[in-house]
Amino acid sequence: MRRHSLLLMSVSALALGATVVTTVALGGKQQANAARSKGVPTQFRARLTKIAAVQRSTPHLPTQAEVLAAVLQAVPGDDIADAHVGGPPPGFVAAPSLGEIGTAWVYVTVRASNHTDGNVVTYWESSLVAGAFREASHALNLSDVLGYTTTVVNPDATSFGPNAQGIGQPFVQQTLAKTAALDRIRARLAGRPQFVRSSLEVLQPYGAAVRATVWLAPNAKLKRGESAALDVFGDIHDYEGTLLRVVDSSGSIIRITAHSTLTGTGSGWSRPGEGPDGVPLGIDTSMSRGRGRQR
């Protein structure tokens, strides 16, 4: 079940691995863990190690609760009201042929700041959490994550959901690190005079996801079907996730486009009278990749 404003699109996944606890004697499963986890991002490994040290006094392989806690530390503010690990929701049937494997499920409740953007931002934050948790769990040889459920709580205490989403993205795909991602975006913006100002923020729940806002020049307009996300980011599959807000010269948001590479989902919103961004409409043909399913 999904709102008309949620336009599913496809994306990819990310590179994994690095041994979080090196003081554990390796044998059997631990050896597999070390082999699989050689590329876990340094910033994520540091957060996880600190959490594990607080949780237990003896060296150990991390639990999935600790992995989820490390992911949540990288989501700013208090948008995530709750996140916990459980089993798949009743009645959910996995599709292994689409890449949906695992026994773990993550449940995420997100606070929405308003009703006007079709919950694009809240669903993006939930997908970042779920994708990072799934990728890290796999890298650390914990139970694979089959999918996630998002519940949105609105400012007036009404809610939307729960919305269950299976994840079928491949594991261990390369995405840009923080510096490389910012360098690419800044270089692209420098050659696009229709955008007179920009704001870039990097979130690192696992790798690096970019939240960007661009302001249009006076009298500049986006054509129907034109992809501002493609202009700003290039191939969005190269990032762990992207969120783009486009603001006109009066200061009003006219488009929001979001995607999560690690869950294979995305969504878009446009102001009434404005055309939606070209990326979620499939105008960028590279968007045909990805295996996320929504139920």
**What pLDDT is recorded for position 231?**
93
Residue with more model confidence, 61 or 76:
76
SS3 283: coil
Higher pLDDT, 65 or 283: 65
Answer yes or no: is 43 within a domain: yes
Q: What pLDDT score does 289 carry? A: 34
Is 189 in the same domain as 282? yes
217 and 136 fall within a common domain: no
240 plus 268 within the same structural domain: yes
| 173 part of a folded domain | no
The reply to whether 152 and 186 lie within a common domain is no
Q: Is 66 helix (H, G, I), strand (E, B) or coil?
A: helix
% the chain with pLDDT above 90: 50
36 and 160 belong to one structural domain: yes
Round the average pLDDT of the chain to a whole number and report it: 78
Domain for residue 17, yes or no? no
Q: How is residue 274 annotated by DSSP?
A: S
| Overall average pLDDT of the 100-107 stretch | 95
52-61, 92-101, 154-163, 264-273 — which is least confidently predicted? Answer: 52-61
225 and 119 in a common domain: no
pTM over 0.85: no
- The first and second tokens of residue 173, run together, are 């795909």
Concatenate the DSSP letters of all residues of 161-195 into one string: EEEEEE--PPSS-----HHHHHHHHHHHHHT-TTE
* Last residue in a domain, options 138, 166, 194: 166
224 in the same domain as 130: no
User: Is residue 68 situated within a structural domain?
Assistant: yes
Task: State whether 194 and 232 are in the same domain.
Answer: yes
Q: Are 133 and 146 in contact (CB under 8 A)?
A: no
Q: CA neighbours within 13 Å on the CB side: how many for 35?
A: 7
- Closest C-alpha to 214, from 277, 145, 282, 153: 277
Give domain status of residue 128, yes or no.
Answer: yes
Is 22 contained in some domain? no
Question: Is the same domain home to 111 and 232?
Answer: no
Shared domain for 113 and 55, answered yes or no, is yes
Residues 119 and 209 in one domain: no
192: in domain: yes
Number of domains in the chain: 2
Residues 151 and 213 occupy one common structural domain? no
| Closest among 251, 232, 68 to 142, alpha carbons compared | 68
Q: What spatial distance separates the first Cα and last Cα of the chain, rounded to whole Å?
A: 6
Cβ atoms of residues 264 and 216 within 8 Å:
no
Residues spanned by the domain of 240: 178-294
Q: Distance (Å, rounded) from C-alpha 235 to C-alpha 161?
A: 31
Of the candidates 260, 284, 266, the one whose C-alpha atom is nearest the C-alpha of residue 71 is 260
